[in-house]
């Protein structure tokens, strides 16, 4: 928002058709001069410019960045598009959730000016992996998702979709830290949010399909799932001036689930 309180700049939300992306778009309306709603099919949302883009497609991501540059100064990118373990094989999960994130952060980098900000969606799954001890080789692998042959090597090493999702999201947290270093000198900030189980089509699908999700829910201190609006509130904070000294970090918004899993089972 400008010093006069008027909305300005272009706010881009991926995965905007539904779920947390849609909640973020609604929450950020007041600070957007232009609102760009991105999804696989261009979302038809009142007051938003719909844009079709598969975030794993470098050409489509480049076209999105060009469109944003045409519309006006780049204010914020909220990257919520993603797929979960039951929605693809390891290769596709790594392509959409990790490669897509790096493509977007790289494509938007030239547009960064003072006050630009990005928030990418990671997941509490990235933190759960660390409870059992993350594999340093896999962490090193996901550090460079744009390396030649990355998807071939990663999908040969990671054959379980749940693990692919968790390491893709660990890679998102690393990509955010890397982008924060690149964007910072021009006054841009980059962070991620790691939701726990949230009531969206994806959250409901994983709860129904994976028995471990109910175990996680039972161990969640708040004893409930999150609402998309609760995550959108965290995202709104991160893109706002209130978070003007916050960059390169991940915010775990999970109702305490990771703390609950770390605690002895009886507590
Ligand atoms: N729901 C949860 O419990 C939960 C928990 C932790 C993290 N997350 C993460 O939060 C983000 C949002 O999840 P959600 O629950 O709102 O999901 P959702 O399935 O409700 O919405 C995701 C949106 O992303 C879009 N999308 C999928 N692949 C895409 C692609 N290749 N290019 C462009 N758009 C694409 C879908 O069409 C959909 O509209 C995801 O990154 C997800 O991994 C979700």
> Across-strand partners of 34?
10
**Residue 75 to residue 207: CA distance in whole angstroms:** 35
Q: Which residues are catalytic?
A: 165
Structural domain boundaries, residue 29: 10-198+227-254
Shortest-distance Cα residue to atom 21 of ligand 1: 19
> Across-strand partners of 35?
11
When pLDDT is cut at 50, 70 and 90, the band that residue 5 belongs to is very low
**Average pLDDT in the 9-21 region?**
98
In a domain, 261, yes or no: no
Average pLDDT, the chain: 95
In a domain, 110, yes or no: yes
**In which order are the strands placed within the sheet that holds 117-121?**
49-52, 34-39, 10-14, 74-79, 117-121, 189-195, 250-253
Given a contact cutoff of 8 angstroms between Cβ atoms, the answer to whether 219 and 11 are in contact is: no
pLDDT at residue 3, rounded to an integer = 43
Per-residue pLDDT tens over the stretch 104-162: 999 999 999 999 999 999 999 999 999 989 999 999 999 999 999 999 999 999 999 99
pTM over 0.95: yes
In a domain, 52, yes or no: yes
Nearest to 115 by CA among 188, 19, 14: 188
Which residue has 């089972």 as its token pair? 265
**Residue 113 to residue 183: CA distance in whole angstroms:** 9
Query: Structurally, how many domains does the chain consist of?
Result: 1
Does ligand 1 come within 6 angstroms of the Cβ of 21? yes
In a domain, 165, yes or no: yes
When pLDDT is cut at 50, 70 and 90, the band that residue 7 belongs to is low
Per-residue pLDDT tens over the stretch 43-102: 999 999 999 999 999 999 999 999 999 999 999 999 999 999 999 999 999 999 999 999
In a domain, 2, yes or no: no
pLDDT at residue 265, rounded to an integer = 72
pLDDT at residue 266, rounded to an integer = 59
In a domain, 112, yes or no: yes
pLDDT of 4 over the 80 cut: no
Distance 169 CA to ligand 1 centre (A): 12
pLDDT at residue 267, rounded to an integer = 47
**Average pLDDT in the 243-258 region?**
98
In a domain, 262, yes or no: no
Helix (H, G, I), strand (E, B) or coil at 50: strand
Per-residue pLDDT tens over the stretch 232-250: 999 999 999 999 999 999 9
Does ligand 1 come within 6 angstroms of the Cβ of 192? no
Does ligand 1 come within 6 angstroms of the Cβ of 225? no
pLDDT of 6 over the 80 cut: no
**Residue 15 to residue 23: CA distance in whole angstroms:** 10
Per-residue pLDDT tens over the stretch 147-206: 999 999 999 999 999 999 999 999 999 999 999 999 999 999 999 999 999 999 999 999
Tokens standing for residue 56: 């794993």
Distance 79 CA to ligand 1 centre (A): 9
Long-range contact pairs involving 143-146 (C-beta distance under 8 Å, separation at least 24): 143/171, 143/174, 145/94, 145/98, 145/99, 145/101, 145/102, 145/171, 145/175, 146/99, 146/102, 146/103, 146/106
CB atoms closer than 10 angstroms to residue 18: 15
**Residue 80 to residue 194: CA distance in whole angstroms:** 11
pLDDT at residue 124, rounded to an integer = 98
Does ligand 1 come within 6 angstroms of the Cβ of 82? yes
Q: In this prediction, what percent of the chain has a pLDDT beyond 70?
A: 97
In a domain, 263, yes or no: no
The domain that holds 32 is classified in CATH as 3.40.50.720
pLDDT at residue 264, rounded to an integer = 81
């Amino acid at each position: 928002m400008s010093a006069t309180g008027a909305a300005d700049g272009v706010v881009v939300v991926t995965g905007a058709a539904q779920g947390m992306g849609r909640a973020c778009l609604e929450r950020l309306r007041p600070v957007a001069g232009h609102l760009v709603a991105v999804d696989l099919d261009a979302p038809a949302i009142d007051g938003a410019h719909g844009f079709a883009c598969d975030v794993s497609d470098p050409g489509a991501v480049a076209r999105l960045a060009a469109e944003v540059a045409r519309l006006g100064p780049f204010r914020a990118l909220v990257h919520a598009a993603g797929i979960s373990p039951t929605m693809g094989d390891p290769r596709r999960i790594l392509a959409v959730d990790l490669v897509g994130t790096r493509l977007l952060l790289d494509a938007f980098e030239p547009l960064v000016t003072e006050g630009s900000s990005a928030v990418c969606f990671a997941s509490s799954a990235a933190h759960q992996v660390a409870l059992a001890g993350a594999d340093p080789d896999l962490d090193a692998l996901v550090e460079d998702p744009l390396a030649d042959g990355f998807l071939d090597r990663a999908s040969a090493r990671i054959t379980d979709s749940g693990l692919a999702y968790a390491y893709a999201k660990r890679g998102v947290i690393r990509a955010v830290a890397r982008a924060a270093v690149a964007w910072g000198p021009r006054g841009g900030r980059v962070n991620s949010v790691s939701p726990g189980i949230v009531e969206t089509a994806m959250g409901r699908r994983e709860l129904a399909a994976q028995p471990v999700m109910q175990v996680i829910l039972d161990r969640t201190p708040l004893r409930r799932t999150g609402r998309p609006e609760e995550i959108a509130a965290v995202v709104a904070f991160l893109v706002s001036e209130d978070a003007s000294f916050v960059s390169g970090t991940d915010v775990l918004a999970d109702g305490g689930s990771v703390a609950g899993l770390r605690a002895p089972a009886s507590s």
